[in-house]
Amino acid sequence: MEFVHFCLIIYCISGCYTAGFLHTRTIPSTITITGCQSDDDSSYWTFNGAFLGVKGTAIGGGIGEHVHILENNSLFINVSSIYADGVYQCVRHNGSVVSHHLSVEVPPRLFFIVNGKVVKEEPVYIDGNSNTTAVCFAEGSKPAVNLSLAVNGDMIDRVEYSERPNQAVNKTFDVTARATFASSMESGVISCWTCGKSVITSLVMRYATYEPLVTYLPEVVSSMPVIEAKVHVANNRPEPTTSIEVGNNIG
């Protein structure tokens, strides 16, 4: 869906004028900007003040996008990255300029950090007897998104938020939502989702609790050189991996 707002007309000292339009697109999408037709071939397009091309040409790497100026002098843009964001201007032979500001919205990459570790596989195991700190990280969005957190469908009210510019990609933002919760359930889900005009995405992470109870019982100690020992593990989730260390040897 395209949002188009007519902005204003500014009269220049030289007598030319600039008309402004705002277009919004979310990656990935396309847009065709019209209204640059003229009676001759002298009209051309610029991008952020730099010459872009004339009708019937295809532009590739100049703005990091695949751009076509069609035979009717309309501008076709394949919006596949943030680098399409900017001001496109149609400059006519009579000196008039029509400006189109393309605002590109970028969905974030969502991931969870639980107790200081990035979650790479599920379910993530948490201690059922202690509080757990979960962070939802929304990386590289434009505009900065609002985040919400829930545990097993229940919204978390006490959430700490932070926002900062993304260091890798200009005009994008990193947002985090941090919350602490306790769960005695054997398993459940933590949900994180964004709220915005068009940048809407979500992530659900499965978790399971563990409750370890380990007892070390040397049941039989026979004459040297044989030592017999047993380790008993009870009421443990998930299934544990056990080992016995005798001196410098692990068995």
Rounded to an integer, what distance in angstroms lies between the CA atom of residue 178 and that of residue 147? 10
> In the prediction, which pLDDT does 245 show?
62
Instruction: Identify which of 139, 115, 137, 138 has the alpha carbon closest to the alpha carbon of residue 207.
Output: 115
* Model confidence pLDDT, tens digit, residues 140-172: 999 999 999 999 999 998 999 999 999 999 899
* Model confidence pLDDT, tens digit, residues 122-131: 999 998 888 9
Type of residue at 134? A
Helix (H) or strand (E) holding 22: strand 17-26
* Model confidence pLDDT, tens digit, residues 192-244: 999 766 667 899 999 998 866 555 555 555 555 555 656 655 555 666 666 66
**156, 160, 164, 169: CA torsion to nearest 10:** -30
Rounded to an integer, what distance in angstroms lies between the CA atom of residue 78 and that of residue 126? 44
Rounded to an integer, what distance in angstroms lies between the CA atom of residue 95 and that of residue 42? 10
Higher-pLDDT residue of 71 and 2 is 71
Rounded to an integer, what distance in angstroms lies between the CA atom of residue 175 and that of residue 136? 8
Query: CA 105, 47, 87 angle in degrees (round to 5)?
Result: 45
Cis peptide before 143 (omega within 30 of 0): yes
> In the prediction, which pLDDT does 67 show?
86
Rounded to an integer, what distance in angstroms lies between the CA atom of residue 171 and that of residue 126? 36
Asked if the model's pLDDT at residue 17 lies above 80, the reply is: no
Tell me the CA end-to-end span of the chain in Å, nearest whole number. Answer: 64
Sorted by sequence, the CB contacts under 8 Å of residue 33 that are 6+ apart come out as 23, 74, 75, 76, 77, 88, 100, 102
Asked if residues 158 and 178 have their Cβ atoms less than 8 Å apart, the reply is: no
